[in-house]
Structure 1
């Protein structure tokens, strides 16, 4: 059996990195030959997680066809979020918790999608279904991924299955998930150490909506003032990247992880569609979005509805 690479989306977050590691481990136990890799460097939160559990950072790839013929995707399916040469590869497996869009294959494949708060929660279920034991270190990593994607189980994307998985994984990893979770989320909010470009690229995903190219980034903070004082420079970087990459709309969602509120910086057109999607008026290129924390559930669907 030929080797396959397993990876999450570009600009990887904690779930993209961890889900790749977890799914690769599971598939190797089931007889496949796989390696978990990444499509970008870990962000500060993920770096904290990997360091906390003494787990090596996955190697970063730019292309895959030069190494393998087949790949497995986790935490994404849209081709514009995947490796640059994805169309030249055979996709054998997908495990995801997002919408399915811009995805097609020439051959049958294993595809598992569930509307859960985190891709790693689906993989926990797959471990249980296949009666494969989750090692303590891997349990800690998967616990971290779920905490990250659900903002410590506060996001509206959180399901009972995510809550159950967190409690079970915390027991295996011997971690106080509430105390650890706050420490972990705060580790990912050190925006002062990042450049404007790093902030707008750190957790960004590209979408096609109604024929428009839309880029949506999310930045977690503990104080909005951390971004407010840099807003002009961040907006300048957004405009430059939108012009360079051809984005019609570039949105940066700034989320306060302590009170679960957000603001959104909007660059591009149609800005009126963004106002309509969120029933809010722009003020100095910014929308106030109280209670909004989830790009997947609270940002992409209403915007997609309006643009389509």
Structure 2
């Protein structure tokens, strides 16, 4: 029997990658399912730091699926964000923390919790199975949670995430202050990052009413380094909008330290939408949003509501 493939979304972030590796351990050792972690895109600098720090091998890169592959999706459940070639019939299970959007032809196992990361969901699954979490898995879980919740500061953070971090670090024994500083330094690093990568590394497509909307995010402790390239980035965003036949495209520059965002405005279409939704001033092709750091909770629902009317 073929191994079941565990895979996260395209343009994978740290939670997507570590959750694939954690899920492989869980399904192999607890449910006795022959599964293999893979990834649907190149690793970012933060994820490379995490895997190197903990001596974990990167999941195998997979570009497309075969007709007889069986899949466990982690950290996503939208076809627009999934590996090329994914069909409903491929999907055996979903483990996620985003709203459910997929419809399947047959009943499948779905585990989705309203929590800060997929790593959090997997930590709960170990506890529910009555199994001790291995130290190396606890370290990966901490990386996934702290990355996805911006060190428990994102509005996606729950009381459960905070409790899990405390419990997991009893096993991992990390200096969390130092680890988070190193994690965010890697997240912010522009080493080896082209302008094209800046807008595609953490990019997702969304269906909002009848509209297709692309939202790119760059989280950093040094937003000035990205702001210096604003005009070039806006040009690239406009090209991507035309090439991918998007109705709207938005770039969200998140300041991790100050906990705010700048949205880069590509055209009058985005300007009209963002003014309607957030009612804030636009100056120099950018809109400042204080306290906004989460695409999932503070951008996508608001835009979806506006474009679905």
Given that 2:146 and 2:152 are in contact with CA atoms closer than 8 Å, whether structure 1 keeps it comes out as yes
Alignment partner of 1:49: what SS? helix
Alignment partner of 2:266: what SS? strand
- Structure 2 residue 50 is the aligned partner of structure 1 residue 49: yes
- How far apart in 1 are the matches of 2:262 and 2:191? 18
Given that 1:147 and 1:153 are in contact with CA atoms closer than 8 Å, whether structure 2 keeps it comes out as yes
Q: 1:132: how far off?
A: 2.5
> What is the match of residue 87 of structure 2?
87
Q: Alignment length, in residue pairs?
A: 306
Structure 1 vs Structure 2 CA RMSD: 1.4
- Structure 2 residue 276 is the aligned partner of structure 1 residue 276: yes
- Structure 2 residue 74 is the aligned partner of structure 1 residue 60: no
> What is the match of residue 71 of structure 2?
71
> What is the match of residue 16 of structure 2?
16
- How far apart in 1 are the matches of 2:50 and 2:279? 37
Q: 1:133: how far off?
A: 2.4
> What is the match of residue 208 of structure 1?
207
- How far apart in 1 are the matches of 2:204 and 2:115? 19
- How far apart in 2 are the matches of 1:56 and 1:129? 27
Alignment partner of 1:191: what SS? coil
- Structure 2 residue 276 is the aligned partner of structure 1 residue 243: no
Q: 1:267: how far off?
A: 2.3
- How far apart in 1 are the matches of 2:32 and 2:256? 40
- How far apart in 2 are the matches of 1:174 and 1:225? 34
Q: 1:60: how far off?
A: 1.0
Structure 1: which 5+ runs fail to align?
A: none
> What is the match of residue 121 of structure 1?
120
Alignment partner of 1:188: what SS? helix
- How far apart in 1 are the matches of 2:88 and 2:166? 40
Q: 1:88: how far off?
A: 6.0
Q: How does the TM-score come out when normalised to structure 1? A: 0.96
Relative to 1, partners in 2 of residues 1:192 and 1:266: Cα closer, same or farther, differing over 3 Å?
A: farther
Alignment partner of 1:219: what SS? strand
Q: 1:192: how far off?
A: 5.6
> What is the match of residue 165 of structure 1?
164
Q: 1:270: how far off?
A: 4.5
> What is the match of residue 5 of structure 2?
5
- Structure 2 residue 193 is the aligned partner of structure 1 residue 194: yes
Given that 1:249 and 1:266 are in contact with CA atoms closer than 8 Å, whether structure 2 keeps it comes out as no
Q: Which stretch shows the higher mean deviation, 190-199 or 251-260?
A: 190-199
- How far apart in 2 are the matches of 1:283 and 1:276? 15
- How far apart in 2 are the matches of 1:88 and 1:222? 39
Given that 1:166 and 1:177 are in contact with CA atoms closer than 8 Å, whether structure 2 keeps it comes out as no
> What is the match of residue 35 of structure 1?
36
- How far apart in 2 are the matches of 1:275 and 1:89? 41
> What is the match of residue 233 of structure 1?
232
Alignment partner of 1:37: what SS? strand
- How far apart in 2 are the matches of 1:271 and 1:81? 25
> What is the match of residue 105 of structure 1?
104
Q: 1:36: how far off?
A: 0.5
Alignment partner of 1:185: what SS? helix
Q: 1:226: how far off?
A: 0.9
